[in-house]
Structures are given as structure tokens and as C-alpha cells.
Amino acid sequence: MTQNVKLLEWVNYWKEILNPKSVHWCDGSETENQMILDNMVSSGSAVKLNEDIKPNSYYFQTDDSDVARIESRTFICSNDPKDAGPTNNWESPKKMKEEMMKVYRGAMKGRTMYVMPFSMGPLGSDKSYIGVQLTDSPYVVVHMRIMTRLGKAALDILGKDGTFIPCIHSVGYPLEEGQKDVKWPCCPIEEKYICQFPETKEIWSFGSGYGGNALLGKKSFALRIASVLGKEEGWLAEHMLILGITNPKGEKKYVAAAFPSACGKTNLAMVIPTIPGWKVETVGDDIAWMKFGKDGRLWAVNPENGFFGVVPQTSMDTNPNAFLTIQKNTLFTNVGLTPNNDVWWEGIGYDCPEGTLDWKNKVYDKTSSQPCAQSNSRFTTPIAQCPVVDPAYDEPNGVPISAILFGGRRQTIIPLIYEAKDWNHGVMIGSLIGSEITSAAIGLKEGDLRNDPFAMKPFCGYNMGDYFQHWIDMGKKTDKDKLPKIFCVNWFRKENGKFLWPGYGENSRILAYVFDRCNDEDIAIDSPIGKIPKPGGINIEGLDITEKDMEKVMRIDKKEWEEELSRAENFYNIFTHLPKELRQELKKIKDSF
């Protein structure tokens, strides 16, 4: 247990409201984890996979209505609506807490309330924070054990008087005496809530058992609440992968990159370089917390301890390191289940076995237009077993960042890569990232282009105009030559329906170019939008691509960019808190054409 009085009082307070059958304090042990998994298998809410094929791995199916983040039911509950800004759903904290208290009362009746102490970031790091989540979902417990440093060690760090981020979660499906449970308890979409309270640093979630709606250490804590902490304390909480790249001479640099969901973060984080002598290692594939060190450089930790990755199209061809990582000790959700208790999904690299159950638990019809695996189906797996995990992934001090990449899924206009002229220009680039909609969010039409600044639109815990200002201000905290270089990348440009760049492992060629630019190698030239590679600046040796093809993928069309800049102005017009520096940077680009 604990001697932390504040924590004990908080747990007891919520126990009275939620009214669980029992309370279990999680110690994070393997014995505890196995007990919970065994109970889930016995109840029918989990399937143990074939031990000879996927050792110590399990399979889960959710309710049809509970398959992704629900942006329409995610709220920033700040005292002043202006502090939530135009890109968030705002609600009054007082009103929302009154509303949620009604549904929380008795919500855990007939269930166990799990108390989960966890560390976001390496244990004991000055860049880490402790959270405690209450939940009635055993699914959440076994996933949070992988995704965070959960259990006794986190409780020990908290000590007698340490502070923690309080996270409350219930699936919202109380059980009366004798009532049989369902395989995936949850509430209808309109009864779900994912609420962040930035002033009090609280997270309240109700009605969903899935992903970021329920694993509250992930988007809710590591981004929405942490971004507020970062603003107040002078650091950055970002939706970014972190990778280490080593050149043939043995020199190593670290790169962070922000892409919206389903734009290849995990693939890039684990990329296998196709050019001889280069090596890439993974620190994290989704979130980075970055603080300035005593040396004036930006140092980053990955607050997570696992990967929660999209499964479809993961194979030995597309992402061998991810595929190898998930062959053991992995939890799979909403993929296909084969007759021999293995898993299958679209793009795995071989045909679906006869008799496979789809994610809705029906025998999969190969002639159907519906997928076997839900498009946002996931794997949850420990970082430590990734074949290319970086030796410093758990380093308390983090790793020094030399470059930051921004990118989205754009079929036109945006070239393969260009470099910001300076920090403020880079902030402008990040603020204008847009991406074509994927299935990772409910309530949006696929194919539409939406602005997703810094890939943080769904995850920023405060006014995004103020967030842009925070980035501008961060650039003033150190010498200009110690700031990371900023680049924009776009793997997804097309011509006549075909991708102009092969992507996947070949993206290592772009990383190599970024690496060399961080060494100030003379391989770039000026353009109206920023620095672009000189002819031959990107190594295309061995690729079925000519310099003429590279001209297409790097093309900067004045008319297209006039439309892009007009779109940018319209986007900026929604902000009352927009930093003047961004309009100045936009004007510089317009004038340069």
C-alpha cells in the first residue's frame, strides 16, 4: 500500500462514490498481471493465443461502438473557455463535474476498482511525473502495465508526500447482484466522456474502455495535461517519435518527429536503413517530453514504456522491426483470430486462413468488402523487446535532439523535404501541418484535409494559439545554434494516383540527409519555402528513381503554394491568440514568391 495521506484520502473518497465490490492496489508484478489475464480468459473477455506461435500473448475484441478515440466527446474543462481555444471542445469544469458525478455514482458496482500508480517517463527522472489511475477495467490494467512504469516502484517514488496526477476511469457498466457481465462493457458514444481539467491537473473518463479514451497515461496525461505542465514550467510535451541515427563513421544524433496518426510514425521510428553503414534505433514511436539541459540543448525522454501501434499493414515487408517486436508478450485488439489461435490482419503478408474470425467475431468472408481487422486495430507491446530499441530509451536524462521533423499525409503541393530557415519559420511549418483524415478518429470523413498543427490538434490541453506562442518562446531560451534544426517531410506525394517516393525503409535516405544538414554539410539550396536539397543532395543510389523523378517529388509550384498560403491565412484567422511572429513568417514566404 502507501503512506501517502493525500493518495489514501483520494482513493477512499472515490471508493465511496464509485461503490466497487472490492479495491485492488496494483503492484505491477508478473504474478498480478497473469492473475488478471487468466481471469479475463476465464470470463471470455480475452483469448490466450497459441503459445507456440505467440508466446504470452492475448487477443481482445471491443464493442462495435468503442474502437477509437472519440474527439467529439473529449473536453478541455478550463475555467475560461478562451483557455481551451478554438480547436478544443470546451465545457465548464463545474458543470462537467456535476454532470459526471451523476454517472460516476455507483458506476463500479459489482466490479473491482483497481488503483494503478504509474510513472510517465523513466523511474526517478527529473523529466518524469507520477500518475494514479482508478479503473474498473482489467483490460486497462494489463495495457497500462505495458504502456507505463506501473506498480510498486512508482508508489515508492511518490513516497509519503509526493504529488500525482489523479486519473479516474470507469467503463460505466455497473453490475447488479447476479447480473451476467458482457464481453466488452461500455456506454453508447453520446454517453462517453474524456475530460481534462487543466487548472486542477485532473483527468476524468467514463463510458469507453478503449485506447486513449481509457489508458489515461497516454494522450490524456502524456499530452493534454503534460502540455499544460510544459507551458507552466517551460518545456514541451509533444506527439513525437524519437529515434537515434548513426552514420557510417559512428557519429550519432537523435531526431524527433511529429506526424498525425496513421502517417508512419511507428514505421519511421523503427526504420531499417537501406543505405549501407547507417543505423537507426528507437527511443519511442509516439510521445516526447523535451526539456533544455544545462548544456543549452533540448533533451527528450519517451514518457511511455510500450508501443500502442496500429496493426493493419504491419509486416516483414513494411516494418520488420515492429513485426518482430509483436511476436511475443503482446496484446492484440480487434484483429482477426485464426482457427489455431493466432492473429491475422490485412497487409500481414499472407492470405487469411479459412475459418478466421473477424474483429466482430464472425467467420471472415474473403469476398466481403469489410475488413477482417478493424482499421484502427492495435498491438500493445513492451519497448524493451524491440530489436532496435535504443540503449538510452530508459535513460533518466533523455537524449539530445538535433532535428525535429513535421509532416502530414499530403498527395500534392508539399515536397518530400524542406528545411526551416530558422526556429520561428519552423514553428510556422509545424503550425500549418495538415493531413488527410484517417480512421483513427470517430466523427470525421475520410479523405478530407484537416489542419493538425504539430500533430497536436486532438491533444493540446490549452489554447493552441498560446501553444504556438509557447513554441516561439522556447526558441528564446537558448543560443540559436543549440536549437534543433526543423524540417518538413511528406512521404505521400502522388502523381496520376501513384506515390512519387517509395517510403518505408527508403525514408532512411531522408534521415541521412537531415543528419548531414545537422552537420551543416553544403547539400541544400534556398527556395521560396525554405532550404531544399541540392541535386544529388539525397542519396538515391540503388533506387529506381532518376533525378527527374526527384524534381517531381520536390516540385514547388507557385500557384499551388498561393492556394496553400491562402488556406494557412484562413486557418490562422480562427485564432485570437495567434503570435504575431507566425503572420510575419507567412508574409515572408508570400513575398519570396
Active site residues: 263
Q: Is 160 exposed, middle or buried (0-12, 13-18, 19+ CB in 10 A)?
A: exposed
| β-pair partners for 47 | 59
Tell me how crowded residue 126 is: count the other CB atoms within 10 A of its CB: 11
Q: What amino acid occupies position 308?
A: F
Nearest to 228 by CA among 201, 204, 250: 201
Tell me if 104 sits within 8 A of 187, measured CB to CB: no
Contacts 24+ apart (CB under 8 A), 495-498: 495/552
The grid coordinates listed for 319 are 516494418
Question: Which spans in 397-486 are helix H?
Answer: 423-431, 464-474
Distance of alpha carbon 397 from alpha carbon 391, whole angstroms: 13
Concatenating the DSSP letter of every residue in 475-499 gives: TTSS-GGGSPEEEEE-TT-EETTEE
Tell me if 411 sits within 8 A of 496, measured CB to CB: no
Distance of alpha carbon 424 from alpha carbon 469, whole angstroms: 10
The grid coordinates listed for 438 are 484517417
CA distances from 251 to 246, 374, 396, 509 (A): 5, 41, 22, 16
Helices vs. strands in the chain: H and E counts, helices first:
15, 30
Tell me if 463 sits within 8 A of 85, measured CB to CB: yes
Nearest to 389 by CA among 476, 454, 324: 324
* Residue 128 DSSP label: -
Distance of alpha carbon 475 from alpha carbon 485, whole angstroms: 11
Question: E-strand spans in 73-192?
Answer: 74-76, 112-120, 129-135, 149-150, 165-170
Distance of alpha carbon 290 from alpha carbon 430, whole angstroms: 16
Distance of alpha carbon 215 from alpha carbon 567, whole angstroms: 35
Concatenating the DSSP letter of every residue in 375-399 gives: TT-EEEEEGGG-TTB-TTTT-TT-E
Q: 193-197 and 74-76 as β-strands: parallel, antiparallel, unpaired?
A: parallel
Distance of alpha carbon 46 from alpha carbon 562, whole angstroms: 53
Tell me how crowded residue 571 is: count the other CB atoms within 10 A of its CB: 16
Distance of CA 123 to the CA centre of its chain: 20
Tell me how crowded residue 497 is: count the other CB atoms within 10 A of its CB: 6
